[in-house]
Structure 1
Amino acid sequence: MELIIGLISGAVGGNVAGKAVGGIDQGTLINSISGIVGGGLGGTILTSLLGAGAAGGGMDIGSIISQIAGGGIGGGAVLAIVSMIRNKMS
């Protein structure tokens, strides 16, 4: 369940970051895909850094908030990296 929360919040985070920072907006599809990848990575990294009890050990409110934050931040970060690579290639 934590992975699904991370993926969804990553997609939302990628789209929000794309709309908030116009220079990294790659369109809804690329924003969502980058966000999903970043959300999965961000949630996984956060879980491994904080330990299973703090970020992925159950469905308490702290775990859910950690997954949303990790997914959203990871989604925005991966979108920024994808945008930088695409801008350098063109």
Structure 2
Amino acid sequence: MKDADHQPAPLRFSTDIKPLFRELDRNSMVKVFDLWNYSDVAEHQDAIVHSLESGAMPCDGTWPAAQVAKIKRWIAEGSQP
């Protein structure tokens, strides 16, 4: 098998996405939705990505591009729990 043929494992909310959200992020958004809850994040994923890309979230600075790309990849792969 060539390295080019190797596909990375699909991202999962529990191990790859949830850890991106800090307690501060969760606490600042919990009145709207819970960033540590798979169902809430999956339901609001488009709004979350928009807020991350615009810099509106998190409230204390922007995410690195790699983290935004990671959540977008998770969505593109079907938003696995």
Bin of the TM-score, shorter chain as denominator length: under 0.3
TM-score, normalised to structure 2, is: 0.27
Report the structure, 1 or 2, having the larger helix content: 1
TM-score, normalised to structure 1, is: 0.25
